């Protein structure tokens, strides 16, 4: 079996960390022997924008459509406004391919640094399911009386029944399959249309899943409990904006941005899904060879899981843990002195040692 992967290394540290994820994927294919990966590279991103006036080709989605998955580094660089790099590539792919599930594990692996001193490692083990195509990031709004004293801007959250039901249903299914509890995070007291609707659908669909234990939190209280009592959360479902913010907070308690992975899934598999580290292009450390590749490698593990290779996906995480526990190869953000390449090589090597 050959898996065809479209690779968009992107900007800054994107290409540096993606190279290490590919190193690990190739090592797994070699060890397994029953499948291989074929990688096709797309040079899209901010450098491309500065040359061609666009982040990706006009028929970019058509070009990506036939692949089994997309593996992305990060986009965004000084000189190109962030709303362009985000909207014209990342959000275009997420929306265009109906990748409505953004899966972000917040799990403190063995050996990972954690700033919370009173919390045991096992207490931080959740999976955040973030709505990924609409909500506050629907791009709906208006800019009235631009530059005038009566200037007003509107940024509208869009929550369709279809879009809200499918993400909440996905979350219930995940909770049922894994036997874990499900928490909805919203803000129905202040957002008196969108979040009241969200809460209503959460309750409606819940009636089909009497076996799933549920709870609901307001997003402000949830932020506090992420830090104070993270063990309250197992499977979490939330909107696009809240999920964006909560998962950076989650990254901070579970090893840092250098370790935070994310998958953008089209669960129906009509379109390719996309796997990417949560972090950005980190212009401050780009080109120095010291970016932490573990987030990109963890994202590669999510790709393996999505393809059905759960054992290999687990082994990648075990290799990462082994490397962190030994401290044999860590980048400066984790207190080490190793290069990006050394960490990737070490994790790949560790795969055959387990
Ligand atoms: P960032 O994630 O690029 O960096 C934040 C801080 O974390 C920096 O100090 C950086 O050095 C550090 N950091 C991030 N990843 C790291 C890694 N793997 N190893 C070691 N240190 C790491 O976020 P920032 O600075 O807000 O954004 C920079 C650019 O990236 C912007 O243009 C932004 O729009 C873009 N961005 C792109 C994303 C994407 O493509 N998915 C996501 C977030 C930001
Ligand atoms: Mg973010």
pLDDT, tens digit (0-9, with 9 covering 90-100), for 280-289:
999 999 999 9
Nearest CA to ligand 1 atom 37: 280
pLDDT tens, position by position, 62-112 = 999 999 999 999 999 988 998 888 889 998 999 999 999 999 999 999 999
Indicate if ligand 1 lies below 6 Å from the C-beta of 333: yes
Say whether pLDDT at 255 is over 80: yes
Query: Could you tell me the sign of the dihedral formed by the alpha carbons of 55, 56, 61, 67, in that order?
Result: negative
Q: Which residue has the tokens 């998962």?
A: 247
pLDDT of residue 353: 81
Fold entry, domain 114-254? Isopropylmalate Dehydrogenase (3.40.718)
Distance 326 CA to ligand 2 centre (A): 30
ipTM: 0.97
> CATH homologous superfamily for 1-104+257-354?
Isopropylmalate Dehydrogenase (3.40.718.10)
Q: CA-based angle 167:60:270, to the nearest 5?
A: 35
Cα–Cα distance for residue pair 76/91, rounded to 1 Å: 13
* Backbone dihedral angles phi then psi of residue 230, each to the nearest 5 degrees: -60, -20
Nearest atom, ligand 1, residue 333 CA: 20
The residues pairing with 235 across neighbouring beta strands, listed in sequence order, are: 127, 182
Adjacency order of strands within the sheet including 69-74: 36-41, 2-10, 69-74, 273-277, 261-265, 101-107, 125-131, 235-238, 182-186, 214-218
What are the start and end residues of each CATH 3.40.718.10 domain in the chain?
A: 1-104+257-354, 114-254
Closest ligand to C-alpha of residue 77 is: 1
pLDDT of residue 87: 86
Distance 179 CA to ligand 1 centre (A): 34
């Amino acid at each position: 079996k050959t898996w065809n992967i479209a690779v968009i290394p992107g900007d800054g540290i994107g290409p540096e960390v993606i190279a290490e994820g590919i190193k690990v994927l190739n090592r797994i294919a070699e060890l397994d022997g029953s499948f291989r990966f074929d990688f096709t590279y797309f040079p899209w991103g901010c450098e491309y924008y500065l040359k061609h006036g666009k982040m990706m080709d006009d028929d970019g989605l058509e070009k990506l459509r036939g692949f089994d998955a997309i593996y992305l580094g990060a986009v965004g660089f000084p000189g190109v406004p962030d709303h362009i790099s985000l909207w014209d590539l990342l959000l275009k792919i997420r929306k265009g391919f109906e990748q409505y599930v953004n899966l972000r594990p917040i799990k403190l692996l063995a050996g990972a640094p954690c700033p919370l001193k009173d919390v045991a490692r096992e207490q931080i083990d959740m999976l955040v399911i973030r709505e990924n195509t609409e909500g506050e990031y629907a791009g709906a709004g208006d800019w009235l009386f631009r530059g005038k004293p009566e200037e007003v801007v509107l940024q509208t959250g869009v929550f369709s029944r279809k879009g809200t039901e499918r993400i909440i249903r996905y979350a219930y299914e995940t909770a049922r399959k894994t036997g874990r509890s499900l928490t909805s995070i919203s803000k129905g007291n202040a957002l008196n249309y969108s979040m009241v609707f969200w809460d209503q659908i959460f309750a409606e669909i819940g009636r089909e899943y009497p076996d799933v234990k549920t709870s609901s939190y307001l997003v402000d209280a949830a932020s506090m409990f992420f830090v104070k009592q993270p063990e309250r959360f197992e499977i979490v479902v939330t909107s696009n904006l809240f999920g964006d913010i909560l998962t950076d907070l989650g990254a901070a308690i579970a090893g840092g941005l250098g370790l935070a992975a994310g998958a953008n899934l089209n669960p129906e598999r009509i379109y390719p899904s996309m796997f990417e580290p949560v972090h950005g292009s980190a212009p401050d450390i780009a080109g120095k060879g010291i970016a932490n590749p573990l987030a990109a490698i963890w994202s590669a593990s999510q790709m393996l899981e999505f393809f059905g290779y759960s054992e290999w996906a687990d082994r990648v995480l075990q290799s990462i843990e082994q490397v962190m526990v030994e401290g044999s190869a860590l980048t400066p953000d984790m207190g080490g002195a190793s290069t990006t390449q050394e960490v990737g090589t070490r994790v790949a090597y560790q795969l055959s040692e387990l």
